[in-house]
Chains A and B, each alone.
Chain A
Amino acid sequence: MDIIILNNIYHVIDAISYGLYAFLVGGLLLGFHRKIIARIQGRPGPPIIQYLIHTFKYYLKEISIPITAGNPLYIFMALMGIMVWLTALYLGVVFKTSLLILIGLYVLQKIVEHGCGLSSGSPYGKLGGVRSVFSAAAEVPLFAAVGIIYILTQSLIIKDIISYQLLNGPIIFKLPFAAFAFFILLISKAPNSPFGIVKDKSIVSGYITEHFGILESLILISDAIAWFVLLWLFIAVFIGPIVILNPLLTLIGMVILTFIISIICALTPLLTPNHSVMLQILITALVIIDLLHKSATI
């Protein structure tokens, strides 16, 4: 009996340390992202650990719940961000289960954005939330990409996809369209991206306008974990076991990917909501045509 409990405690500590690792790595990468954008724009930029400093600073700030907020949704949404991405971390990185579950969890991130925006009752938050609903088009290429991957590997379990790549080499060369769709997703999740209409500065801070203090700190934590998980997923699904089986190489791969994405983010303007959505729909159409072509040939 005691052994089971000790074992369980061991697993809990294991899980929490995984989460902490993902948060630290993700936070540092996001700080790095900010630094590179600053350097490209000719500014010195904040130190790389700025993201983590922000998180800790907000964690110790006082909050007060706005009178317009709808509770407990207002608080629960900030918690849900971490829940979603910790679940994605465990199911994806630790247990390597189905890719479809991870896509479902990614989709829940939209619910978090929307819920944060609408539950506060602030007009800026509402605009951010409605824009987040608009940009749901970013997920559709993902589903098509999942279909293409399934046609190629006959499995959506990440473990199977990795072992497929062990035999046949990286998928990125076989499915460039699917990889491109996934890469667009990474870009649209990055801060200051051309698709970042949700956090456009013209609507203050978008959906996190009314989530300040500790609630903002929670959202920053979830964003850092999300960045880690998404980069890991891209590397695992498209580049494969050469990089993913060695933690150090994985870290280097993540840094390189963040570098590429930062350069793209720094050099592109922010699109208007309609244009951002329509561009994503064009990409969707491209990937769906690829999917139909692939499934017709098999």
Chain B
Amino acid sequence: MDIGKIWNYISKPEVVPRLFAAFLCLILAIEFFVPTTYYKDQLYPKDIPQSQIFKSSLAPYDRGGVPLIKPADIKTQYPQFEPIRGKITAYLTPLSQWLSEKTPYFGTTIVSTPGGILDEILYYTRGMDTILESLTLLISFMIFSWIYLNRERVE
């Protein structure tokens, strides 16, 4: 076995992703058997799956509360920085209000205001994440559109 040959082989770009995937599999396979614990008092609690269904039309995302009057039930890491948290979490546009009265599955659609992309910004706790999530999409769209528009260009 020639170690130089192995070294040269793993320095090729097309081999590197395979190598990384194998490495990742190894790590995750080891991690699978590592005992771990679950902390009950979670910071961002979720309801048990299917527990809200048919009780509320906003199904998985219903946090209660009345917009601008009664704050919703939201736990945060630093309550001192967020004096008005949960006040607008329950806000629905007139159209969504009408839709939510018609169907019990409104909360599962992406257009439902509490939930989907915008839930965290409305929970008023993790706004920075929401910006970055949309930025990721925006940048990939920009790259794609530039490449698409300039696909005919030659050097």
Residue A274 interfacial (CB < 8 Å) = yes
A117 smallest CB distance to B (angstroms) = 20
B45 interface residue per 8 A CB criterion: no
Q: Does A136 contact B (CB under 8 A)?
A: no
Is A275 among interface residues, defined by CB-CB distance under 8 A?
A: yes
Chain A at the B interface: SS class: helix
Q: Which of A245-298 contact B (CB under 8 A)?
A: 274-275, 277-278
A189 to chain B, nearest CB (A): 23
Chain A residues contacting B4 (CB-CB under 8 Å) are 275
Instruction: Show 6 A/B contacts (Cβ-Cβ < 8 Å), sorted by A.
Output: A274-B7, A274-B8, A275-B4, A275-B7, A277-B11, A278-B7
Chain A residues with CB below 8 A from B11, complex form: 274, 277-278
Contacts of A275 in B (CB 8 A): 4, 7
Q: Besides A275-B7, A278-B7, A278-B10, 6 other CB < 8 A contacts?
A: A274-B7, A274-B8, A274-B11, A275-B4, A277-B11, A278-B11
Contact with A along B1-28 (1 / 0, CB 8 A): 0001001101100000000000000000
The complex places the Cα of A277 from the Cα of B10 at a distance, in Å, of 11
Q: Mark A139-178, 1 if CB is under 8 A from B, else 0.
A: 0000000000000000000000000000000000000000
Inside 8 A of B8's CB, which chain A residues have their CB?
274
Interface size on A, residues (CB 8 A): 4
The residues of B that contact A274 with a CB separation of less than 8 Å are 7-8, 11
Name which residue of chain A comes closest to B4, CB basis: A275
CA distance A274 to B8 in the complex (A): 7
Summarize B's interface: helix, strand, loop or mixed: helix
Residues on B with beta carbons closer than 8 Å to the beta carbon of A278:
7, 10-11
* Cα-based distance from A18 to B96 in the complex (angstroms): 69
> Which residues of A are found within 8 Å of B10, using beta-carbon distances?
278
CB-nearest residue of chain B to A275: B7
- In whole Å, how far is A131's beta carbon from the nearest beta carbon of chain B? 12
Q: Output the nearest chain A residue to B6 by Cβ-Cβ distance.
A: A278
- A276 to B: closest C-beta gap in Å: 10
Closest to A134 in B: B11
**Which 8 residue pairs are nearest across A and B when measured between Cβ atoms?**
A278-B7, A274-B11, A274-B7, A274-B8, A275-B7, A275-B4, A277-B11, A278-B11
B27 → chain A, closest Cβ, in Å? 12
CB A127 to nearest CB in B, in angstroms, measures 16
With most chain A CB atoms within 10 A of its CB, the pick from B7, B8, B10 is B7
Identity of the chain A residue whose Cβ is nearest the Cβ of B11 in the assembled complex:
A274
Smallest CB gap from B10: residue in A: A278
Give the Cβ gap from B20 to chain A, nearest Cβ, in Å.
14
- Distance (Å) between the CB of A42 and the closest chain B CB? 31
Q: Report the separation of the CA atoms of residues A278 and B19 in the bound assembly, to the nearest whole angstrom.
A: 14
* A118 → chain B closest CB, angstroms: 19
A278→B4 CA distance, assembly (Å): 9
User: For B7, what are the chain A residues with a Cβ–Cβ distance below 8 Å?
Assistant: 274-275, 278
Distance of A274 Cα from B15 Cα, bound (Å):
15
B residues less than 8 Å from A277 (CB atoms): 11
A174 to B119, CA, bound (A): 52
Query: How long is the Cα–Cα vector from A265 to B10 in the complex, in angstroms?
Result: 27
- Contact residues of B between 10 and 60, Cβ < 8 Å to A: 10-11
In the complex, what distance in Å separates the CA atom of A275 from the CA atom of B3? 10
Smallest distance from the beta carbon of A284 to chain B beta carbons, Å?
A: 14
A residues 7-37 touching B (CB-CB < 8 Å): none
Q: What is the minimal beta-carbon distance from B145 to any residue of chain A, in angstroms? A: 27
Q: Which single residue of chain A is at the shortest CB-CB distance from B7?
A: A278
Q: How far apart are B126's CB and chain A's nearest CB, in angstroms?
A: 28
CA of A275 to CA of B7, assembled, Å: 7
* Least CB separation from A277: chain B residue: B11
- A56-79: contact bitstring with B at CB < 8 Å (1 yes, 0 no)? 000000000000000000000000
Kindly state the separation between the CA atoms of A104 and B8 in the bound complex, as whole angstroms: 30
* Interchain nearest-CB distance for A226 vs B (Å): 28
Bound-state CA distance A148–B4 (Å) is 30
Name the CB-closest residue of A to B3: A278
Minimum Cβ distance to chain B for residue A272 (Å):
9
